Structure 1
Amino acid sequence: MEQSIRTQPPGPRRRPPTPAAAEAAVPGPATPPDSRLRTASGPRPRTAPRIRLRLRLPLRLPTAPRRRGGRPTRLTAVGTGVVAVLATLAVALVDRLLFGGLGVLFGLGYLAICFQLAVRVRLSDLPAAPISGPIAFAAALVLCQPDPAHGITGHVVSLAAGLALRAGWLFAGTGLAVLIVGARFLAQRRIRRSR
């Protein structure tokens, strides 16, 4: 009797659990967690199946691919010629429709086109900007003259007269393109030498 008192810890005596109570208290690895409720309170009542909706937020809309860096798109030699002719013809047609001839609007448009061509052309195709500008200018004069001439000689004479009357715009736009292209070429050459 004395030995049993000495070996037991102080406090009330614990009774060993019965097998039914042990199963109800702790579910085993083979029994699902809901078996505890079924054994304690009887069979579980059937309920409507739960429908789980999964929404993925935020919704991402397709966007245009981003370009790397902030550099403008560069034009090739052929692209420079095509853009020069189309843009110059468009400005010439607008000027002819609004004012009945090729005047100040056509000249200012040509200056803007030459500037954009010289800025956006690729470094390997720099000479294309000053060359394509005058070609587009001459094409606009031939196609958009207010009084069309008859025959080849008439076209040549009207082209020469148009170039003589608008030589200031032609030289200003072409000179602007030459200056920008030359500055870009020298800057690229200095960058290559510094490396």
Structure 2
Amino acid sequence: MPNPRLTGLGSGLFCTGVLFLLACLLGLMFDDALVAYGVLFLPVATFTALWVRPADLVTAPISVPIAFAAGVLPISGGTGFGGRLMGLVTSLALHAGWLYGGTLIAGLVVGVRKIRLMAERRGQVGQGPARKETAGPGPKRAPAV
């Protein structure tokens, strides 16, 4: 498995791009592709949470639902601006379970990663710097008079 470290913006763009491309492909292959889109959303949300760098962990659960909404546009249905908007709102309302599930998975993955990161830091703080032992006697001093 690749182990990329995406920034907060990069993880959002990755998730949005992958979900948009998946929605376009599913729209071409299937007539009603919203359930397949929801199923494929879960691993994309997981990988987004796994690949975000430790400094930007909080961004994954925020960018995942935004990417879901942006990605569902090609398969939401409707014609014209108003029809597309109503199709988007309807898709988000009817498939909110997938949205909540993927967001929950991303939040859990990020939470576990943060706890492990804090445990590693706590272990490093307790050790402190290593002391150097000298092999021979210390410096020679002049005799006291």
Residue correspondence of structure 1 range 77-116 to structure 2 within 5 A: 77-116=8-47
What aligned pairs does 1:62-73 form with structure 2 within 5 A after superposition? 72-73=3-4
Q: CA 1:149–1:165 in structure 2 vs 1: closer, same or farther (change >3 Å)? A: farther
Question: Where in structure 2 are the equivalents of 1:120-131 lying within 5 Å?
Answer: 120-131=51-62
Equivalent of 1:144, from 60, 72, 75? 75
Q: Which has the larger helix fraction?
A: 2
Structure 2 CA distance, aligned partners of 1:162 and 1:96? 14
User: How large is the RMSD of aligned CA atoms in angstroms?
Assistant: 1.8
TM-score normalised per structure 1: 0.59
Displacement of 1:155: 4.1
Per chain length, whose mean CA-contact separation is higher, i.e. which structure has more relative contact order (CA < 8 Å, sep 6+)?
2
Secondary structure of the equivalent of 2:5? Answer: coil
Q: Is 1:165 aligned with 2:90?
A: no
Q: Does structure 2 conserve the Cα–Cα contact (< 8 Å) formed by 1:102 and 1:145?
A: no
TM-score normalised per structure 2: 0.77
* Percentage of identical aligned residues: 36
Query: Residues 31-68 of structure 1, C-alpha deviation per residue, up to 9 Å, x if partnerless?
Result: xxxxxxxxxxxxxxxxxxxxxxxxxxxxxxxxxxxxxx
Aligned-partner SS, 2:72: helix
Asked if 1:176 is matched to 2:102, the reply is: no
Say if 2:77 and 2:88, in contact at 8 Å, map to a contact too: no
Letter in 1 for 2:31: G
How far apart are residue 168 of structure 1 and its match? Answer: 0.9
Confirm or deny: 8 A CA contact 1:149 1:158 kept in the other structure.
no
Q: What is the match of residue 191 of structure 1?
A: 120
In the TM superposition, what is the alpha-carbon distance from 1:90 to its structure 2 partner?
A: 1.1
